[in-house]
């Protein structure tokens, strides 16, 4: 572990360098003869870090995105909001603890902030259902969004889920309809909606809270129609080909920006958000405030039309590939 963080496979060589430097420092405290050697090693460590994190594969970036110490929705709310009043329940079935939402103030801006919460230890992950929403979770999200519209408050939606809960009981309670209804209603809400992908943005589970006027994404998050493991299982009947699937899905932030799926990439500290959460919180707050100042100046009629066109134009057809079929 480095600084109390669980090591990822691509970080092992970095950790070995860190251990060597720390060992030299302890063994040679106050000895100037080894100072230059230590400085050289520290410079090599810096170069190694830059090289390793610059050459990350799509799958390695997914591992960063899934790191257990990566900041969750509850961490963003605590850091970004001067005040937060949580609201519960969907007024139909029950409160879904996989989603947190409520009235908040961010840098003086009153808003409704809603996010998918995975939990950060075994107990909280079970309580939060690992961030997988049931139908009542989507109804809860929509209830809060409609409340925001009623009081003319902007909506901040944080996405971090491996997908909607796939259990039989969720399907019996109308999982697909709940997601589809959110897509319809969010496209028509007459207030600015800012979407931010902070971790996993997987399938309809994320999209059910992902219709908005601007979509931002943390550098090492991913946003995809399906997880790499599920994709590999369907295409090749082999979930172990997840690395190959991760590359083919084009789910990293740079790919999605080029395809027009997202609008803004928010940089992360070297190695991922878990290495410096406060820096990420500061960048996130800047993104939210910049977008709010821009969106609040757009007339509601134009805002809704631009939102519709934003999602309507997504997708490209490769005519060359079609002609080969």
pLDDT of the residue at 217: 98
For residue 325, the SS3 value is coil
Tally Cβ neighbours within 10 Å of residue 237.
8
DSSP for 13-42, please give it. Answer: HHHHHHHHHHHHHHHTTT-GGGHHHHHHHH
Position of tokens 């790191």? Answer: 67
Q: By the 8 A CB rule, do 67 and 50 touch?
A: no
Q: List the beta bridge partners of residue 216.
A: 196, 264
Q: Is 88 helix (H, G, I), strand (E, B) or coil?
A: coil
* d(C-alpha 236, C-alpha 314), whole Å: 27
Helix or strand holding residue 262 (H, E)? none
pLDDT in 10s for each residue of the chain, 325 residues:
555 578 888 888 888 877 777 777 777 666 665 677 777 878 888 888 888 888 899 999 999 999 999 999 999 999 999 999 999 999 999 999 999 999 999 999 999 999 999 999 999 999 999 999 999 999 999 999 999 999 999 999 999 999 999 999 999 999 999 999 999 999 999 999 999 999 999 999 999 999 999 999 999 999 999 999 999 999 999 988 999 999 999 999 999 999 999 999 999 999 999 999 999 999 999 999 999 999 999 999 999 999 999 999 887 777 776 676 5
Structure tokens belonging to residue 35: 């100072």
263-280 pLDDT per residue, tens: 999 999 999 999 999 999
d(CA 225, CA 203): 4
User: Distance (Å, rounded) from C-alpha 114 to C-alpha 233?
Assistant: 32
**pLDDT at residue 23, rounded to an integer:** 75
Residue 135 and residue 177: Cα distance in Å, rounded? 8
Token code pair at residue 212: 């908005």
pLDDT at residue 34, as a whole number: 64
Closest CA to 88 of 170, 22, 130, 143: 143
Q: Do 133 and 73 contact (CB within 8 A), yes or no?
A: no
């Amino acid at each position: 572990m480095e600084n109390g963080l669980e090591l990822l496979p691509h970080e092992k060589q970095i950790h070995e360098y860190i251990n060597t430097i720390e060992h030299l420092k302890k063994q040679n405290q106050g000895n100037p003869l080894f100072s230059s050697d230590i400085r050289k090693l520290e410079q090599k460590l810096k170069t190694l870090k830059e090289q390793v994190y610059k050459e990350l594969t799509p799958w390695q970036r997914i591992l960063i995105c899934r790191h257990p110490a990566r900041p969750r929705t509850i961490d963003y709310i605590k850091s970004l909001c001067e005040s937060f009043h949580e609201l519960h329940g969907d007024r139909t079935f029950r409160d879904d603890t996989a989603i947190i939402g409520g009235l908040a103030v961010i840098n003086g801006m009153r808003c409704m902030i809603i996010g998918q919460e995975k939990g950060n230890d075994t107990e909280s992950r079970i309580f939060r259902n690992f961030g997988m929403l049931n139908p009542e979770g989507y109804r809860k999200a929509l209830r809060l969004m409609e409340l925001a519209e009623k009081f003319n408050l902007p909506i901040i939606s944080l996405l971090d889920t491996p997908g909607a809960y796939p259990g039989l009981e969720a399907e019996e309670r109308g999982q697909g309809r709940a997601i589809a209804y959110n897509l319809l209603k969010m496209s028509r809400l007459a207030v600015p909606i800012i979407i931010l992908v902070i971790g996993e943005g997987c399938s309809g589970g994320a999209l059910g809270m992902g219709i908005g006027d601007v979509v931002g994404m943390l550098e090492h998050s991913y946003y995809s129609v399906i997880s790499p493991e599920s994709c590999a299982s369907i295409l090749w009947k082999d979930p172990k080909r997840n690395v190959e699937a991760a590359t083919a899905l084009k789910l990293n932030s740079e790919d999605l920006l080029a395809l027009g799926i997202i609008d803004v990439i928010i940089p992360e500290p070297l190695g991922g958000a878990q290495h410096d959460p406060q820096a990420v919180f500061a960048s996130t707050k800047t993104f939210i405030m910049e977008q709010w100042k821009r969106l609040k100046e757009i007339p509601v009629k134009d805002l809704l039309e631009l939102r519709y066109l934003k999602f309507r134009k997504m997708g490209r057809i490769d005519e060359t590939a079609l002609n080969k079929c």
